[in-house]
């Protein structure tokens, strides 16, 4: 049975492919690490949202790429900004 497919050069110890494999592994590692960090940020944001601490929610979400978070967090971010602005206004007399 002959070797076939993308793994063939590796199984044949084609040394030229090892740097490509290392680069791919490093890229995957960075991506995985970033996903873990984003999950931790969103978990922290959820806790502050539940407490009604909108200032802290804004600070936490601001540490992410707003375009890459789920739309529900983008909406909560906008709501939090409005609530903070509303709370900052002095009462009208």
Is residue 4, in this structure, part of any structural domain at all?
no
Per-residue model confidence as pLDDT tens digits over 14-67: 666 678 878 888 999 999 999 999 999 999 999 999 999 999 999 999 998 889
pLDDT of residue 16: 66
pLDDT for the residue numbered 9: 66
C-alpha to C-alpha distance for 35 and 31, rounded to whole angstroms: 6
Over range 58-83, report the average pLDDT: 94
Domain around 71: 14-88
Tokens of 16: 């030229």
Give Cα separations from 91 to 83, 86, 88 (angstroms).
Answer: 14, 10, 9
Mean pLDDT of 7-16: 66
Between residues 18 and 85, which one has the greater pLDDT? 85
Q: How many domains does the chain have?
A: 1
Please report whether residue 49 resides in a domain.
Answer: yes
DSSP state of 91: P
Residue 29 lies in a domain: yes
């Amino acid at each position: 049975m002959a070797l076939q497919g993308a793994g063939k050069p590796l199984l044949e110890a084609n040394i030229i492919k090892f740097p490509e494999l290392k680069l791919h592994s490093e890229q995957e590692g960075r991506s995985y690490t970033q996903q873990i960090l984003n999950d931790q940020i969103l978990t922290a944001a959820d806790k502050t949202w539940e407490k009604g601490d909108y200032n802290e929610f804004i600070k936490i979400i601001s540490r992410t790429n707003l375009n890459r978070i789920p739309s529900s967090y983008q909406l909560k971010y906008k709501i939090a900004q409005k609530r903070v602005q509303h709370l900052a206004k002095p009462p009208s007399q």
